[in-house]
Amino acid sequence: MFKERPTSPTIMGTRSATDLFSEWAMKNKDEGMERGHAASVTEMLDMSLAQMKAPFSAIDVGCGNGWVCRALEQIEGCAKAVGVDGSEAMINKARTLGEGEFHLATLPGWKPTERFDLIHSMEFLYYLTDPISMLKLLHDEWLNEGGVLVAGVDHYLENEDSHGWPSALNVHMTMMSEDEWGRAMESAGFVDVVMHRAAASDSFVGTLVMMGKKQVA
């Protein structure tokens, strides 16, 4: 049985990630997040969309202001793009900026009423205290057979620059290595798991991207 690495040191009085993101949305920092993550997300979408057959449905988990959903809606073959986020301020922005379907919900206590062909997530999983269980839920209850999950994280063991983020932001983050994330994907039931470093450069080790498929029964 796969065992989760101990989480980053607990910070007394930590605030919730949703409170942090609401603060950022009100300060328009979401626009900087969009620009900062664009290169990684472009690679993630290129990887996952190559596995899609039209028409397909998609959901962005931790959608922020909805920018990935709006990008997906422009892709030929995308029949539906849904977003979900726990920050009320972010969801309000998403609904203002686009006409798509956006849900305000705290995860993992919410699940959609339908399943999707593509699940995208950028900078969401490590804010959970048990991201491994969330991967299992996404596989079992959110994804269609033959569907694909692609998720990116910048806070991981090999990215030493990210190790101080929990203390600096006063927010819980779960620290796992690239190998542990890969084994967590397989433990959740995903097949054809691919691990990739997106947008890597001389100054950045890259966004850790994990992609896997739900096997057709």
The tens digit of pLDDT for each residue in 149-205 reads 999 999 999 999 999 999 998 999 999 999 999 999 999 999 999 999 999 999 999
Which pLDDT value is given to residue 159? 98
**Residues in the chain, pLDDT under 70:** 1-13, 21-22, 24-32
Tell me 64's DSSP state.
Answer: T
Q: Structure pTM?
A: 0.90
Question: So what's the pLDDT on residue 164?
Answer: 96
Pairing of strands 207-213, 143-153: antiparallel
User: Which domains occur in the chain, in start order?
Assistant: 37-213 (3.40.50.150)
pLDDT at 136: 98
How far is 161 from 204, CA to CA, in rounded Å? 9
Residue 26, helix vs strand vs coil: helix
- Determine the Cα–Cα distance for residues 29 and 147; give it in Å rounded to an integer: 32
- How confident is the model at residue 98, as a pLDDT? 86
Distance CA 210, CA 195 (A): 5
Average pLDDT across the chain, whole number: 90
Q: Among candidates 119, 115, 87, which has minimal Cα distance to 103?
A: 87
Contact 140, 109 (CB under 8 A): no
pLDDT given at position 30? 63
